[in-house]
């Protein structure tokens, strides 16, 4: 049923990688983010576990549907359930990269070894072995019977698929297809420390393929760890998706402006604005730990801003009464536009989360409008594809504020991935720009 696959030897036995990945997937299914769960993995094995865990998250709908068909009664042991999901995902007809491509018999053997290695799981070796081998024997017929399953086909929760079908009758399939692809890697050159030409030349010397886009963007032909790319420690560039790089230019910043980045962490847009002009910048975030990341990123790039932990909607807790010439409101959202980078998001969200985040966004936008100077600008941004967090939010805001005049901005950007050229790929974002009369 599966085409022959080349065995790729990870840095640890595959059985150990499967078991650790199962622990990660178990944590995600219990509500922990994939990033946080991976931080608990032993560093020596983490790269291999990360590759398998990301693959399992991108194939989770497929694996859940197959597992339920073969094992109708969900195992009471949550770790066993997660181990089965990881193992089935590795038997999917296609693997996203060589790092998770193993021969089917290897997956079965190593999954059984992983089960035996954990005392609480050892009694279930027969279940794991039997169900995986049954899939190898009957997989084609099984998948034929399950072909109408939304989760199997699209690897998203059914409610998510239905919501996109409702919101985007023409584009929902391409949105889901892009979300299931591995993301490209885009950089933004720090014009205060380098030129794009010098950065591209340094990349060429190291044999790193890259393409320029827009004013300061670079798209790598192949993603790689930042410390393997020239200029990271020197602050020549930052990792930032093409869609996210649109924020700073839209505000038309000039030297001397008083600027607020209202939801700043992790600091990519804060840095971009400071690279654009000499600004009196205040960066806020509700999470002190995330604000530390902003400080670290600015230090690496040779930039500085006033940083403050605050609830942006509670003006009395942070605002001194002086208005801002420009406000960036990159508000909390479902992050439905960046699921190709964070495939766990689709499984962590629930249908009611959209209305909850929309209510929070409206509260933040209304509060921030009060701090915008006459003639100043507010840029409303989300990394979401749901119109309730985008166009509908912008329309409602303008109706609530007659003194808000909407200016040209990209509006809804849909995710674009393979087979597009690296420089054309982007996450799903929404932009609305307002000026105060």
Q: Where are the domains of the chain?
A: 14-153, 184-240, 242-436
**C-alpha dist (Å) from residue 290 to 13, 126, 276, 311:** 34, 45, 23, 14
Mean residue pLDDT across the chain? 95
CATH code linked to domain 242-436: 3.40.50.150
In the numeric block, which tokens belong to residue 40?
């608990």
Least confident range from 27-31, 407-411, 416-420: namely 416-420
**Model confidence at 306: pLDDT above 60:** yes
**pLDDT at residue number 11:** 63
Q: Is the peptide bond before 146 cis (omega within 30 degrees of 0)?
A: no
Report the relative pairing of strands 280-285 and 258-261 from DSSP bridges.
parallel
Tell me the pLDDT tens digit for each residue of 203-231. Answer: 999 999 999 999 999 999 999 999 999 99
Q: What is the pTM of this model?
A: 0.93
Calpha distance 170→61 (Å, rounded): 23
Calpha distance 331→393 (Å, rounded): 11
326: Cβ contacts below 8 Å, ≥ 6 apart: 251, 253, 257, 258, 259, 260, 376, 377, 378, 379
Query: What secondary structure, in 3-state letters, does 377-415 show?
Result: EEEEEECCCCHHHCHHHHHHHHHHCCCEEEEEEEEEECC
User: Could you say which of 22, 274, 383, 416 is catalytic?
Assistant: 383
Q: For 32, how many CA atoms within 13 A lie in the half-sphere containing its CB?
A: 14
In the numeric block, which tokens belong to residue 331?
């508000």
**pLDDT at residue number 101:** 86
Closest residue by Cα to residue 41 from 18, 23, 60, 14: 23
Least confident range from 263-277, 387-401, 410-424: namely 410-424
Edge-to-edge strand order for the sheet containing 217-220?
210-213, 217-220, 185-189, 237-239
The DSSP output letter for 339 is T
Q: How confident is the model at residue 418 (pLDDT cuts 50, 70, 90)?
A: confident
**pLDDT at residue number 6:** 37
**Model confidence at 4: pLDDT above 60:** no
What is the fold of 14-153? Answer: N-utilizing Substance Protein B Homolog; Chain A (1.10.940)
Query: What secondary structure, in 3-state letters, does 295-308 show?
Result: HHHHHHHCCCCEEE
Q: How confident is the model at residue 93 (pLDDT cuts 50, 70, 90)?
A: confident
14-153 matches 242-436 in fold: no
Tell me the pLDDT tens digit for each residue of 122-171. Answer: 999 999 999 999 999 999 999 999 999 999 999 999 999 999 999 999 99
**pLDDT at residue number 419:** 82
**pLDDT at residue number 203:** 98
**pLDDT at residue number 12:** 85
**pLDDT at residue number 157:** 97
Tell me the pLDDT tens digit for each residue of 349-383. Answer: 999 999 999 999 999 999 999 999 999 999 999 99
129: Cβ contacts below 8 Å, ≥ 6 apart: 108, 111, 112
Mean pLDDT of 63-86: 96
**pLDDT at residue number 3:** 37
Active-site residue, 383 included: yes
Q: How confident is the model at residue 5 (pLDDT cuts 50, 70, 90)?
A: very low
Tell me the pLDDT tens digit for each residue of 98-113. Answer: 568 899 999 999 999 9
**pLDDT at residue number 218:** 98
Q: What percent of the chain has pLDDT over 70?
A: 96
Q: Which of the following CATH numbers is that of domain 184-240: 3.40.50.970, 3.30.70.1170, 3.40.50.1110, 3.40.470.10?
A: 3.30.70.1170
Consecutive H or E run containing 374 = strand 372-382
Mean pLDDT of 315-338: 98
């Amino acid at each position: 049923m599966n085409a022959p696959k080349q065995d790729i030897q990870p840095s640890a036995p595959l059985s150990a990688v499967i078991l650790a990945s199962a622990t990660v997937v178990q944590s995600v299914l219990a509500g922990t983010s994939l990033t946080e769960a991976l931080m608990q993995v032993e560093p020596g094995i983490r790269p291999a576990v990360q590759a398998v865990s990301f693959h399992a998250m991108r194939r989770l709908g497929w694996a859940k549907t197959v597992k339920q068909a073969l094992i109708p009664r969900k195992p009471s042991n949550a770790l066993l359930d997660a181990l089965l999901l990881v193992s089935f995902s590795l038997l999917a007809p296609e693997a996203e990269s060589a790092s998770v491509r193993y021969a089917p018999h290897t997956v079965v053997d190593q999954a059984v070894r992983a089960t035996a290695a954990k005392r609480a799981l050892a009694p279930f070796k027969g279940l794991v072995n039997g169900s995986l081998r049954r899939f190898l024997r009957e997989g084609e017929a099984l998948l034929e019977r399950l072909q109408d399953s939304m989760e199997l086909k699209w690897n998203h929760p059914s409610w998510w698929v239905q919501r996109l079908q409702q919101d985007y009758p023409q584009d929902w399939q391409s949105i889901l297809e892009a979300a299931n692809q591995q993301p490209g890697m885009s950089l933004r050159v720090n014009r205060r420390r380098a030129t794009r030409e010098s950065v591209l030349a340094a990349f060429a010397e190291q044999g790193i393929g890259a393409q320029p886009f827009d004013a300061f963007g670079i798209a790598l032909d192949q993603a790689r760890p930042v410390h393997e790319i020239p200029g990271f420690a020197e602050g020549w560039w930052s990792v930032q998706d093409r869609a996210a790089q649109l924020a700073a230019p839209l505000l038309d910043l000039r030297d001397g402006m008083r600027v607020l980045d209202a939801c700043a962490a992790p600091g990519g847009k804060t840095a971009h604005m400071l690279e654009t002009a000499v600004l009196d910048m205040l960066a806020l975030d509700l999470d002190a730990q995330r604000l530390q990341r902003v400080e670290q990123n600015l230090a690496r790039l040779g930039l500085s801003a006033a940083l403050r932990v605050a609830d942006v909607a509670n003006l009395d807790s942070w605002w001194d009464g002086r208005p801002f010439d420009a406000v960036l409101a990159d508000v909390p959202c479902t992050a439905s536009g960046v699921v190709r980078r964070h495939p766990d998001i689709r499984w962590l969200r629930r249908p009611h989360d959209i209305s909850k985040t929309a209510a929070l966004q409206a509260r933040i936008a209304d509060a921030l409008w009060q701090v915008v100077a006459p003639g100043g600008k507010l840029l409303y941004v989300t990394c979401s594809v749901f119109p309730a967090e985008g166009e509908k939010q912008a329309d409602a805001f303008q109706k609530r504020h007659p003194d808000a005049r909407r200016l040209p901005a990209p509006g809804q950007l849909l995710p674009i991935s393979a087979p597009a050229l690296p420089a054309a790929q982007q996450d799903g974002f929404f932009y609305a720009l307002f000026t105060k009369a």
